[in-house]
Amino acid sequence: MTSATTPKTVDLGGDGLQREAIANAAITPGMLLALDANGRVGPHSNAGQEGVVGFAKEYDLTGRGIDDAYASGDQVIYKIPYEGAAFYGILASGQNVARGALLTSDGTGRLKAAGPTDMVYAIAQEAVNATGAAARIRAMWHKGRGIA
């Protein structure tokens, strides 16, 4: 696949704040992140709940790409996106979503289809079938409650 069909970066545009923090666990670029009590970041661990601060970006300053994971203790570059920012996230295994689907955290830093009371973090910008294995998905940042 070419760069036209497969992005080589997680941050696909839009406004937000770039920050850095130490990883408290292994993190793959594109994962939803949460801060711990010590100011470290790790994969968001509460499925459908609040607490996501943003998404991990690749550490391109050292030539690392979107498939190069951060190890616990590494310095992580992440983005706190504003509404409408686009990113290349990770759809959890077992998910099959249509374009326009509301997405939330699956509790491992990946995205899943949001239920009616889940915190919505993104809107799918493409249909993706990840029923066999986790897959990348283009998404637009949207933070708010699902439709009750």
pLDDT tens by residue, 58-90: 998 888 999 999 999 999 999 999 999 999 999
Sequence-distant (6+) residues with CB within 8 A of 63 are none
pLDDT tens by residue, 83-120: 999 999 999 999 999 999 999 999 999 999 999 999 99
Name the nearest CA neighbour of 10 among 96, 100, 83, 86.
86
Whole-model pTM: value is: 0.92
Sort residue 14 into left (φ over 0), alpha (ψ -120 to 50) or beta.
left
Query: What is the pLDDT, as a whole number, of residue 144?
Result: 66
pLDDT exceeds cutoff 60 at 147: no
Query: What is the pLDDT, as a whole number, of residue 133?
Result: 96
Q: Distance (Å, rounded) from C-alpha 102 to C-alpha 114?
A: 5
Query: What is the pLDDT, as a whole number, of residue 35?
Result: 94
Query: What is the pLDDT, as a whole number, of residue 100?
Result: 97
Tokens, residue 52: 């996501």
Query: What is the pLDDT, as a whole number, of residue 148?
Result: 39
Query: What is the pLDDT, as a whole number, of residue 101?
Result: 97
pLDDT average, residue stretch 114-132: 95
- Taking CA atoms, 21 is separated from 70, 76, 94, in Å, by 11, 5, 30
Tokens, residue 38: 């010590």
Domains of the chain: 11-81 (2.40.340), 86-145 (no CATH)
pLDDT tens by residue, 4-50: 678 999 999 999 999 999 999 999 999 999 999 999 999 999 999 99
